Amino acid sequence: MDCGGFCSCRAETQISAVIFDLDGTTLNTEKATKDVLKDFLAKYGKVLDKEKEDNRLGKMHKESAASIVKDYELPLTADEFSKEIIPYYQERWPQAKALPGANRLIRHLHKHGVPFALASNSLRKHVEGKISHQEGWEELFSVILGGDEVNSGKPSPDIFLEAAKRMGADAVHCLVIEDSVVGVTAAKAAGMKVVAVPSLPTQTHRYSTANSVLHSLLEFQPEIWGLPPFEDWVQNALPIEHLFVEGIVSKGDPRDGCTFLSITADESSSESLPDQVSGVYFGWARLGTHGIFKVVVAIGWDPHSDIATTIIQPCLIGEFNEYISGEQLQLLIVGYIRQLSIEENNLGGFDTIEKDKSIADGALDLPMFSNTMSSPLLAESTCRGSGCCE
């Protein structure tokens, strides 16, 4: 069984409790707030260094604040920096959305009575502020911990050990889900199993100590860890919280009943996609004045880029023989089919396989998916073409 990247797929011990990280693992706060530090530094004539910020990922705010002030030689103390920048982050928190698969897993564990905790290096009051915008989260988590409630934050194991203690669980029977290297280090130091869903998708080699490395929580399989399996797949298709992308088509390439589109995604649209969204999806595509079509969408990474650059490759299902160039494209992604292979994830040679098209085609005829075509996100259009919903 391929559990994504490198991993030890079968747990050696039965997992009885789960501990989640917050930022970048369950909540897309890092995308929602991504320009805050950059804009803040610009006020002081400084330029953000992405490598330094990647290395700060997951660390305590107090520690990060001190190192930011030092690294950028800001004319502020760490406390002054924090007081000045935190309100800018708080303004963005309401925009943060649950990462793909997070709500699904949280509600699944709650349904089956599996205790689960939230353990973040953020201050407890900031944790509460962030999750207050997510329906039900405050009530669903068995335990909520902030970094200021333990002696030392991650990479120290303190916060995970305290979470386990409050849940009445042994550390050896706990599974941690993390996105940062410091979080993985802390979980291993606590003697716990850990699944990494990296916020640094092009640097998975840094997560080699994790028991499993996934591209998305949609790939998570509870039964591997002795937890109750999901039961929400419908004919090999998984309903998901909708994703929306807009772009311009540069060309269309008809192949075997599926027209591959090369698109330039709208910057604000593609930037709204989480980093942890790799996989094969399906949904609806509105193509300019041509109508609304069924579509399979592969999302992966540009292997030739030094930074994490998302590649979106839609394929209209059905015969479509018209020349396409410069057309506006709207993608409403409503379901998930599978993870990409290691080779496909770099999208150097992704080619939608017949099974993907068949699953998407059949699923989009089901009421639970076909009804989504009327979403207000897709402008009204006259549906036509053999790949279109009839």
365 in active site = no
Single out the catalytic residue among 2, 23, 35, 148.
23
Tell the residue number behind the tokens 């000045």, with chain if given. 84
23 in active site = yes
Q: How far is CA 327 from the centre of its chain?
A: 28
How does pLDDT run across 87-131, given as a tens digit for each residue? 999 999 999 999 999 999 999 999 999 999 999 999 999 999 999
Task: State phi, psi for 252 to the nearest 5 degrees.
Answer: -120, 140
Task: Assess contact for 342 and 202: CB atoms under 8 A.
Answer: no
Task: Please tell me whether residues 220 and 259 are part of one structural domain.
Answer: no
Task: Please tell me whether residues 76 and 107 are part of one structural domain.
Answer: yes
Range 302-324 average pLDDT = 74
- The answer to whether residue 6 sits within a structural domain is no
Task: Please tell me whether residues 250 and 206 are part of one structural domain.
Answer: no
Counting the structural domains of the chain, the total is: 2
Task: Assess contact for 44 and 72: CB atoms under 8 A.
Answer: yes
pLDDT score of 301: 77
Among 58-62, 170-174, 203-207, 286-290, the range scoring the smallest mean pLDDT is 58-62
Rounded to 10 degrees, the C-alpha dihedral 233/300/223/283 comes to -10
* 371-to-100, 208, 283, 365 alpha-carbon distances in Å: 21, 42, 11, 9
Task: Please tell me whether residues 135 and 198 are part of one structural domain.
Answer: yes
Q: How far apart are CA 47 and CA 342, in angstroms?
A: 34
- Average pLDDT of every residue of the chain: 86
Task: Report which listed range, 3-7, 33-37, 138-142, is most confident.
Answer: 138-142
Task: Please tell me whether residues 150 and 199 are part of one structural domain.
Answer: yes
- The answer to whether residue 136 sits within a structural domain is yes
Residue 263: give the domain boundaries. Answer: 238-374
Candidates 180, 177, 270; CA nearest to 218 is 177
Task: Please tell me whether residues 196 and 242 are part of one structural domain.
Answer: no
pLDDT score of 1: 33
pLDDT score of 173: 97
pLDDT score of 3: 44
- The answer to whether residue 180 sits within a structural domain is yes
Range 39-68 average pLDDT = 84
User: Is a pLDDT exceeding 60 seen at residue 383?
Assistant: no
Task: Please tell me whether residues 248 and 220 are part of one structural domain.
Answer: no
Among 2-6, 43-47, 212-216, the range scoring the smallest mean pLDDT is 2-6
Task: Please tell me whether residues 47 and 146 are part of one structural domain.
Answer: yes
Single out the catalytic residue among 21, 158, 275, 356.
21
* 293-to-68, 89, 240 alpha-carbon distances in Å: 48, 39, 19
- The answer to whether residue 213 sits within a structural domain is yes
- The answer to whether residue 10 sits within a structural domain is no
- The answer to whether residue 3 sits within a structural domain is no
pLDDT score of 128: 96
CATH code, 83: 3.40.50.1000
How does pLDDT run across 179-229, given as a tens digit for each residue? 999 999 999 999 999 999 998 777 788 899 999 999 999 999 999 999 999
Higher pLDDT, 385 or 89: 89
- The answer to whether residue 2 sits within a structural domain is no
Task: Please tell me whether residues 222 and 283 are part of one structural domain.
Answer: no
Task: Please tell me whether residues 175 and 307 are part of one structural domain.
Answer: no
Task: Assess contact for 108 and 228: CB atoms under 8 A.
Answer: yes
Domain boundary among 228, 254, 271: 228
- The answer to whether residue 281 sits within a structural domain is yes
Task: Please tell me whether residues 216 and 269 are part of one structural domain.
Answer: no
Task: Please tell me whether residues 243 and 286 are part of one structural domain.
Answer: yes
